[in-house]
Amino acid sequence: MLAGARGFTALALLILALGIGANTAVFSILHGTLLRPPPYREPQRLVDVLDESGRETGLTQRYASYPDFEEYHRHARQLESVGAVTWAVPQPILAARGGSRPVLTVPATDNFFQVLGVQPALGRTFTPADSAGGCTVVLANALWQAVFGADPGLVGQAIQLDGRDCTVVGIMPAGFSFYPAATAMWRALTPEQLAGPRPLPVVIVGRLRVGATRQQAQDELRSLHAALHTEAGIEREMRPFVTDLQEQFTWVAGRNLRTTIWVLVGAVSVVLLIACLNVANLLLGRSLARQRELAVRAALGAGRGRLVRQLLTEGMLLAGTGGALGVGVAYAAVRYFRAVNPVELPVGSEVRLSLPALLFTGLVSLTTALVFGLAPAWKTARLSLAAVLRSGGRGVATGGRRTAQVLVAAQMALSVALLAAAGLLIESVNRMGSEPLGFRTQRLYSARIVLLQQRYHEEAARGQFYERLERALCSQPGLQGVALGNQAPPFHGGISPIAVEGRPYREDTAVHDVGHEAVSTGFFRTLGITVLRGRGFDDRDRADTEPVTVVNTALAHEYFPDTDPIGQRIRVMGQTEPFPWVRIVGVVAAVKRSTMYREMGWVEPPVMYRPMAQHVPDSASLVVAAAGSAPVAECVRRAAAQIDPEAGIGDIQPVERAMLKTMAYPRFRAVVFGAFAGFALLLAAAGLYGLLSQMVAQRRQEIGVRMAMGALPRDVVGLVLRQTLTPLGIGLAAGLAASLATTQWSAGLLYGVSAHDPAILGAVAAVLVLTGAVASVLPARRAARTNPTDTLRAE
């Protein structure tokens, strides 16, 4: 029967394959990111320990300190074991094949890998002896493959790290990773790295003892923390909180990643439901056209149950074949997702077409068969077969048409809800992407510069290198500007409280949201940051002159709302080593920056800038403004090599690319939602077209009689349009109501637009009306061209 209706079968299979394939692909992403546990031993017992504070502006959580780790390691009883890592240290330079390069090296405690329960592919991990001193490293598999050619003899050998010998004791397996995923090697944390003036911030990872809960562990750690920090200060106000390690990985990868994936699951489920309704409508129309055939079957002895089974069997066969084709669609979609890699995934995630995804496809196929097979079967069971035989198959399809109208109205309603959501997400991305940030991004390139610690441990040596590099690059043809700073946009440096000279300072009431950055004299000019009052930095600001600073408007408004900040003196507080008082000489426009605590939006944090001649950072970011197609990477590497061949220059990439990375998740949501909404609208239009075509075909005799009695073609067109308005109006009203009722989920996914934006909702309504008009053109034209003579002669 299906082979005899090839056009119908091909259309139904295409709709099912796309609907089921899209669902399987999204489920594969869901399973690989949120449901698949990290590749560690008993990952459900692994927790992450952070600090939280309700007082710091824009900072709700931060990493704990190393003294906290020691306290928890010694005295925590709800945790079976506790380890820690940190990346709050200067990145070393690896001297290996292909020259020198900075590598992301993460210091770790000697028991870190044991807490995770992972074994190396070669060699061993750290032991307490490694933490006593010296330099011991464990390599990531990717670095071992790319730089050392997967040489198994490397274990036990020494490599050059920051000009000193470091022994490689192990190689981790290819599937192992920990945040950040780009970590190239882990180094045993030694007393040398803990000897700084400030407590080292660390990421604490713990393994719950059997039977313990996260809440029990958190209560215990808060007691230990309070006993350790008895003096008033920042540490006293902090309190540890314990979270699931996989949940923390998910949050770090994307603030709204969990919401994004579940929203996509909801959207693709709606698409599948629309596909089912569409196929149900096709089957219903086909069953109505087959009324005489079914009546003849009944006359020959087939019972109603046999007729229902016939239709359900056809539906099951369609669903099974559509599911098999959907697996191919999902495989292609997953391959494309992995190749494009549109967003950062949590550590340990692996998106692939797995066995759970295939089982999900089977379940979806069975469910869809039941959903779209019940409507025609139910209508068939209610048919008066004797009436069908007496009428020759005419005049008994009114109820079927009414059911088809309900199904099309449901498709329209679901399409409107998806279109409204897609419109809001797309408009949010457009507004966020077009927001003026206060600095230029076109033709700007940035790179991280890392210097050998032994050679540049003094500020004067680092300052001389940065000054020589800036002069060398400024003389290069094709480069319009050069800037140096401890961070390149859109990121910012450290956060500390500040004190204003002449005002009382109390640390327990200070605002802890002031960024402090060291920049070169050409920083504001190269990045196009406007100096609003006073001056920027110039040659007057040297190491032997009065310490000065330039603040942005956010700091000026917060700390000097009623006075002129020029000439005032401020000071960075909260540091073990006191900073000098610095005089404000200028005010610049605030720069919008991204923040890890808020995905949809920009922040304008208060920032104080210091001249690099007076405050030289351990490492710096280089920003170069290029003219046209200047070879920026070649110029930078050549200039740095002429000054110091062992200087580490990181990847040189456009600043616009870094900005795009901050927009990756919002853009991914908008694109996928837009694609789903477009597909849903196409299905709804096809359903409406099918409804009208079937109506015209079934009422052909009636239309012929009307025209024979004097009805004009425009009257027939009006008849078809009235059939269009009913499902269209009901679907539009229901869809807009559903969209307005389900806006709570979108609160954290929108920027600069209301969930009830009338312009977007109006545009959605206009699109739906236009779609209905297009879908009704051909059926109306076909009805208007009905020849009454031919119709009556056929009767």
Over residues 294-344, the pLDDT tens digits come to: 677 777 777 777 777 777 787 788 888 888 898 999 999 999 888 888 877
Over residues 759-772, the pLDDT tens digits come to: 988 998 899 888 88
Of 129 and 370, more confident: 129
Over residues 291-307, the pLDDT tens digits come to: 667 677 777 777 777 77
State the average pLDDT over residues 382-391. 58
CA atoms within 13 A on the CB side of 152: 4
pLDDT value at 142 more than 60? yes
Position 59 confidence tier, pLDDT thresholds 50, 70, 90: very low
Q: Which residues pair with 495 in a beta bridge?
A: 515
Name the pTM for this structure. Answer: 0.77
Over residues 561-609, the pLDDT tens digits come to: 889 999 999 988 765 556 789 999 999 998 888 776 677 878 888 899 9
Rounded to 5°, angle at Cα 439 from 436 and 445: 125
Q: Which residues pair with 610 in a beta bridge?
A: 518
Over residues 215-239, the pLDDT tens digits come to: 999 999 989 988 887 765 666 667 8
Residue-level pLDDT at 233: 60
State how far the alpha carbon of 151 is from the alpha carbons of 144, 171, 174, 584, in Å.
Answer: 8, 10, 14, 56
Instruction: Give yes or no for a contact between 641 and 647, defined as CB atoms under 8 angstroms apart.
Output: yes
pLDDT value at 117 more than 70? yes
Residue-level pLDDT at 200: 81
Over residues 730-741, the pLDDT tens digits come to: 888 888 888 877
Residue-level pLDDT at 381: 58
pLDDT value at 559 more than 70? yes
Most confident of 31-40, 72-81, 496-505: 72-81
d(CA 135, CA 161): 9
Position 168 confidence tier, pLDDT thresholds 50, 70, 90: very high
State the average pLDDT over residues 3-25. 83
Token pair listed for 735: 């869809």
Over residues 525-541, the pLDDT tens digits come to: 988 899 999 999 988 98
Domain range annotation of the chain: 46-249, 452-646
Over residues 653-690, the pLDDT tens digits come to: 888 887 777 788 888 888 988 998 888 888 888 878 87
Residue-level pLDDT at 57: 45
pLDDT value at 450 more than 80? yes
Please, what is the angle between helix 304-340 and helix 355-382, to 10°?
Answer: 150
